Structure formats: structure tokens, C-alpha cells
Structure 1
Amino acid sequence: MLFNIHPSNLVSALSIALELSTDGLSRHHWRTALIANRIAEQIKLDDSQRQVLIYAALLHDIGAASSWSEKKKLHMFKAGDDIYQHAEAGDLLLKDSPQFSMLAETIRHHHDNWDGSNPHRLAGKEIPLTSRIINLADRLEILLRDKVYIFEQRPDILSAIRELSGSYFDPDLVKALHEFARQESFWLDLTNPHYYQNFFRQIDTYGRMVFNIDDIVNIGEIFATIIDRTSRFTGMHSRSVALVSAFLAKAKGYGSEEVKLVKIAGLFHDLGKLSIPNDILEKPEKLTEREFSIIKQHPYYTYRILEQIDGFSTVAEWAAFHHETIDGAGYPFRVPEASLRLGSRIVSVADVFVALSENRPYRRPLAVREIEKIMRGMVDNRKIDGCVVTDLFSDRAGLGTLTDRIGEMSWSAVGPS
């Protein structure tokens, strides 16, 4: 199965996951990409470098997505030495990816200062040009204030950038920025939320990048790693849910490519958890009503992000409806039983099974017999699909192999204690 996906469509959608917060979505990565693209136009960057630049700009803070403490460091214009940690983490996430490895070096160096005052000890033109552009674009975006009229901000922003020309920033890029920054339209585009779809259409001049289904699995693995780092208790949760989901899909007679689609849904099912602070995810006591309401937003964001990707409508539904219930009382969409498709029911059962199998701040992992008792009770209360649960526990040999494999994955993720 091939996915005819515009690369900017895929990357721009996934970049939204890096913008998630309890207050909704920011546009930092999108605005950084827009600024970087204007700089690239001004200096006449060739198409191949420009493609890397835009996609790297859209994902440049991927290494900080799992940690709220890391995210907070990124909002200071003059950042400290500890800002490089997330750039290194982003490089490690992407450098071995067949699909995104070309972005890794740019992301690794996107905070390197022109004067060489950075841990990598690169200076001037030793720093990749695409990294230098993103560094400038990123810092300009950090200076933008949503509640101040944009033209009132412009002089101070440009002054702050000029002061760091030759130390933080490439002087030639600062000069290029000042040349097009005279255009009012540039600043208005930055603050116009309706402009960004036009922007993505304009930069999508590279044609459709054809991904096969295994490419999508590989991309899902990257984001599963990011998602599961949000809590020390969920080191392999998304991969485990994907594994159990694929096991159940096979039990239902799905074909090989449909099984992979269910696996992809499992890998992405908790994408929206990047909107939840780490301290809530790891809280050992009972959540407050407000904290639980924050938890409830994660499948909503999973759906809204994934539905934007070409050909992902089914995957989005299977992934995001894992907290919907047979009785129609689940969240966040309150999907009635008749509309809750089998793929969603499979991911829901897999999610419950894996969660009960894992260590949690409030309890130990449960044995299979305890898990089955709890899940049979959930079936009786019309929370999860009874036929899918029966498939899970009827093949004891297969279930044993499955749990052993989950245990091996968890062990390899954390290593010996």
C-alpha cells in the first residue's frame, strides 16, 4: 500500500504535536518555518537545501517535545548553555530514520552561535547554512508577542536581532532579514492564522513523496518514542499497544496491510499526550477533576492532528477513539456504539491490556489473570468490546508469546537495573 502524501502535509501536521500545551496550540514551528522560508528566498537558497530547511524548521524542537522543563527553556531570547540538549536529542531521534535523516544535522546545530560560543565549537560558515537560518528565524519568532500590535513590535525586534549580529547570528542573514522586513506583508503574514495553509501550498513544489506503509510505521516509531518519554512509567507503551493491536487484528482476519494500519494507529494513539504536563502523567495520587479534564484532551488532539494527513482518516479514527466506550459514554467525542468501528475497539482493548500490564505511580503491574478479570468486568459494563477481549484471552499460547515480547522490549528500553 502506498500513501501519496505531500511531504509538507505530513511534516506540518506532525509539527503541530510539538506545539501542544494545556492552553491549546501555539504556532512557533509554523512561524519559524515561514520566517526561514523568507530568508531562503532572499538569499536564493537552492530547492534541495530549501526543502531540508523547511522540514527541519517544522520539526526543529522535536527533541524537547517530551519534557515540559525543556520546553520552558526555549522561550528565552538569549538562552543559556542548557538549550543545546534538545537539539542533540532531536538529532538522535532522526539520524537513523530513512525518511528524516537528512534533517538531523540541521536540527543538531540550530542553536549554534556564529561566534563559536557553543558546545559543538563550530563557528561561522562551519555551521550548516540551514541551521544558521533556523537559529535566526527561531529567535525572531520567540520575540513575537501575540497581544501587541505587530508594527509596534517591529522596531524592537529588529533592534534585538541587530545587537546579536556577528555573535549569535550570521551577519549576512541578518542583512537579508532587514531587507525584506521592510515589507509590511511579511509581518502581517506572521500574525495571520489563515495564511499558513497558503504558505504550505506555496512551498509544496517538490511533488508528492511516495511512502509505503513500512515508511509510515517507521515514522510512527519515532513519534512513539517521543510520546512514551513523557513519563518514566510508559517507556514502551505505544509500541506495546501497537504490538497488541496488530495481534488482535490478525485474530480478526485482517490482511497484512490492514494489520500494519492498526499497528500505525497503536503507535500514534497517544500523540495528544504531548499536551499534558509530565507532573500530571506521573502523579502518584488521584487526579483532581481539573487534572482529569486535561487528560481527556489528549485523544482529541490525536484525532485533530492525524486527520490532517492525506490518507489518514481511518488511522486517525482508530487511534483517537481508544477512550470511546461501547455504551457511548467515553471521551472526548462520545461516539455511539454503532459508529465505533472495529479498528478503534481493537486499539482500545490493546490500550487497556497494556496499561494494566505496566508499572504505574499508583500500582504495580498486574498478572494476566487479574487483567482478564478486570477487562471481563469492563465488558459487562459495556466499556470495551467483548468479542475483541475474547480474542485476546482465548489464545493463551499467543498471548504468552506477546507478553514475553512486550517484556523484552521494555527491558531493552530501560536496560538492567
Structure 2
Amino acid sequence: MINLNNLLVAVSNALDFVEMDILGITSNHSKRVAYLSFYLAKKLGLSSEECFDIVAISILHDNGISEKMLHSNIKGSYQVRQNVLERIEEHCPIGEENIKDFPFLTDVKNIILYHHERFDGKGFFGIKGDQIPIMAQIISFVDTIDRLFNLKENYEEKEKHIVEYVKRQENKLVSTKILNVFYELIRDKDIMLNLKDELIDSAVLENIPTFTQELSYMEIRNITKVLSKIIDCKSKFTSYHSIGLATLVSEMATYYKKGEEEKLKLIIAADLHDIGKLAIPNNILEKPTKLNDEEYNIIKTHVVYTRKCLESLSTFKDITEWASNHHEKLNGLGYPKGLKGSELDFNSRLLGCLDIYQALTEDRPYRQPLTHNQSMEVLYEMANEKLIDLGITKDIDIVFGSQ
């Protein structure tokens, strides 16, 4: 069984890093949208299942932005980029497509697609009024309010201005029905104070309906594939890294005759191994020259963030270990824990070796991609220095050298 609430928080943490870095949105934006959307939905009489789904959709609503950002070459301040990206309608269908395999509890068709529609029909697609799904109406409204007023800080001082703004938006941005409920909500200090950074995680987990599902690892993989795309889109130099690593892992798992469940768990670990890089600034990830010590230490924290994102998922114990250990080395000189030898199981070693191989064969800001033979020279040298597993290195050469 997998707790969908914990999965959503893990996803939210990942997307939060993207929105802060790419858009300049303040931390925990998606959780605040989820939390307030949940209460609006609840007060509007939506079912428990619909209330859960609006939380899920709120967290995922801008998942298409990172992919669009990669291909848009948008420059300027955070505010400029945010304004431009929010007006690129393609991120809506991209986001809608990305979440099609998420295990929602109700029919959520077109909610992400229409999450920038306005009640008066002046959104991207010209849909208006009750043609817009009610969950899309709620999310669009709350998303706008939080982006404009940063509800995590001093909301009481902003309350008057917020009310004045939304009154002007009645039946333009949002319906009277939703506004009337929002007026009740904004006066509830117990709810509004939970929007602070230090409270929002527990508020989301404690207040939304709890649902668990028996998901197969194939179904979980359908979710992590979406996350791997988001991770890879963080930088143009890693635009295929997690996806490519998952492909390598799949081939090596077949070579080793791994069972289907273990193979899928390894692929999921590959999908998510760099989820922590979403917390690393792009000016470091894409630096064309050698990193200084401070920058390198920042890069090294990505595996700590990976563990932080995944460890709340009890069914991901093995996956979390494999994903978080991919920079450990057999001689104990890796990071973050300095594990060595027998402390690293076979699958951690395998993922670590393949991560290096995949990275070597990719373009980087400081070098061109290496060929298979060039990459193997590096791997054999590392194996001879007792950094990585020699047996696995030889097997990588066998499997991919013949392709």
C-alpha cells in the first residue's frame, strides 16, 4: 500500500524547488494552493474523493512549466519569466498530458488544461462560466491570489487589499459562489495562519482526507516517469539524464535476470535519483568552468534532498537507498555518508556505475559527450582505484559495447 498523501508531499517538495528557481515563486506555493483549494472545495460541498483530488491537482497544476521553460529560452528577472511563462498556454496541455496516469480518485479531465481559464471567458481557451470544471475554477483563483499576495506572510495586514482585489474580480476571474466561500475562509485565522512555511506541511497532511491505494510498481512508475521529465527539464544539460539512466538500468536489470518487481524498483530509483537537483541553482548546474569548493559542496547536497523527498514513502525504502547512494564510492570517499564496501549493496553500486556512464555520454557545459570507449576508460580507471565495482564495470562494457 502507498499513502497518496505522502506521495503528494514528496511531489510537492520537488515541484516547489522548480517553481522557486524558474519562476521566483515563494516556497511552498503549491502546498498553499492545495490547502486553500481543499477548504474551498470542502465548503462548496465537494466529496472527500474530490477534495483529495483537488489537493493532488493543485500540487501538480504547473508541472508543465519546467518542460516549457527548457525550450523557451526566456530571459530576464524572475518576475518577467513568471509573467511570460504563466502566459504560455502550452504548459497547460503539457501538464494535462503528464498527469494522465496519476491514480486520481475521480474524473479530473481538463482541470489542469483549464486551470488558467477565467470565469468571464478571457483565459487561454475562451472557456467561461460553468463550462470550466469547478476544481479548475478554484485552483485558478487560489493560484492567482497566492502569487499576487504571497499568503504565507502577514496575511492579516494584506486581508483588506485581498478583499478589495477579489471584489473587483467577481464574475470576471471567479464566480460569486466561490467568492462568497472565500470571504468566510479568509476570516478564519486558524486556517490562514497555517499557510506559513513552518506549518504548511503538517497542515496539508493533517487536514486533507487520507487515502491509500494498492499500486503496482508499474503504476508507481507511471507517476515517477512524470517526475523524471520534470527533473531532467531543470537544465538543458540534463534534459535526458534520468530518462537515459532508467533505460540503462532496464537493460542491465534484464542482463542480470532481475525479477520484474526488482527491475521496476531500480527503474523508479533511476527516475528519482536526481530529484534533489531541483534544489540546486541552475547557475551552478550549468557553470561552464570548474566549480569552486563552495559550489561543489552545494552540488553534493542534492543527494540529501533526494533522500528528504523520498524517505516519507515507507514503501520506497529500497528505492530511497539506491537513489540516495548513487554518489557513494567503495573506498568511502563518496558522499553524502561516506559509505564503503559492504555498506553498499549491489543495486546501489549498479546505479552509481550507470549514473557515471550516462553522465559521461551526455553533453555538459564544460565538455562534449564521450563515446562508449572513452567512457569505459574512465570507468575502468575508477574501478581500478576502488571507487566503483569492477565486475559491474565489465558488464556495462559487455552490454553497451556491443550496441
Alignment TM-score, normalising by the size of structure 2: 0.87
Distance 1:116 1:343 in 2: 53
Match 1:197 to one of 202, 221, 227? 202
Counterpart of 1:178 in structure 2 is 183
Change (3 A) 1:223 1:334: same
Q: What RMSD, in angstroms, separates the aligned Cα atoms of the two structures?
A: 3.0
Superposed, 1:17-416 pairs within 5 Å as 17-20=14-17, 21=20, 26-66=27-67, 67=69, 72=78, 82-95=87-100, 97=101, 99=103, 102-103=107-108, 105-145=110-150, 148-191=153-196, 193-194=198-199, 196-205=201-210, 207-252=211-256, 254-393=258-397, 396=398, 398-400=399-401, 404=403
State the Cα distance separating 1:334 from its structure 2 match. 2.9
Which sits farther off after the overlay, 196-205 or 174-183?
196-205
Question: 1:269, 1:319 within 8 Å by CA — same for their partners in 2?
Answer: yes
Provide the C-alpha distance between the structure 2 equivalents of 1:236 and 1:190, rounded to a whole number of angstroms.
35
Task: Please tell me whether the aligned partners of residues 150 and 191 of structure 1 are also in contact (alpha carbons under 8 angstroms).
Answer: no
Q: How big is the shift at 1:107?
A: 1.2
In the alignment, the residues of structure 1 paired with residue 251 and residue 107 of structure 2 have an alpha-carbon distance, to the nearest angstrom, of 33
Q: Deviations over 1:367-402 (max 9, x none)?
A: 222211111111223322222212222xx3x3246x
Segment drifting more, 315-324 vs 25-34: 25-34
The offset of 1:106, in angstroms, is 0.9
Say whether the 8 Å CA contact 1:248–1:388 is kept in structure 2: no
Look up the SS of the partner of 1:118 in the other structure. Answer: coil
Q: For 1:74 and 1:48, how far apart are their aligned partners in 2?
A: 37
Evaluate the alpha carbon distance shift between residue 297 and residue 105 of structure 1 in structure 2; reply closer, same or farther with a 3 A threshold. farther
Per-residue CA distance 1:144-189 (angstroms, 9 max, x = gap): 5478534223222222222222222222211110023222212122
Q: Is the 8 A contact 1:143 1:157 kept in 2?
A: no
Task: Count residues in correspondence.
Answer: 393
Deviation at 1:110, TM superposition (A): 1.2
Aligned to 1:15: 12
Q: Would you say the 8 A contact 1:224–1:239 is kept in 2?
A: yes
Separation in structure 2 between the aligned mates of residue 358 and residue 32 of structure 1, nearest angstrom: 37
Most deviating of 312-321 and 293-302: 293-302
SS of the residue corresponding to residue 65 of structure 1 reads: helix
Contact between 2:224 and 2:271, CA under 8 Å: does it hold in 1?
yes
Stretch moving more, 163-172 or 250-259 = 250-259
Deviation at 1:318, TM superposition (A): 0.4
Name which of structure 1's ranges 25-34 and 349-358 shifts more when overlaid on structure 2.
25-34
- Report the Cα distance in structure 2 between the residues aligned to 1:324 and 1:5, rounded to whole angstroms: 28
8 A contact 1:106–1:131 mirrored in 2: yes
**2:57 alignment partner AA:** A
Counterpart contact for 2:120–2:129, Cα < 8 Å? yes
Change (3 A) 1:132 1:75: farther
SS of match in other structure, 2:207: helix
Structure 1 residues 179, 24: CA separation in 2 closer, same or farther (over 3 Å shift)? closer
CA distance in 2, matches of 1:319, 1:312: 10
Q: 1:113 to 1:80 in 2, by over 3 A?
A: farther
Task: List runs of 5+ in structure 1 lacking aligned partners.
Answer: 405-417
Alignment gaps of 5+ in structure 2: none
Which amino acid in structure 2 is aligned with residue 312 of structure 1?
Answer: F
Please say which of residues 365-374 and 277-286 is displaced more in the overlay: 277-286
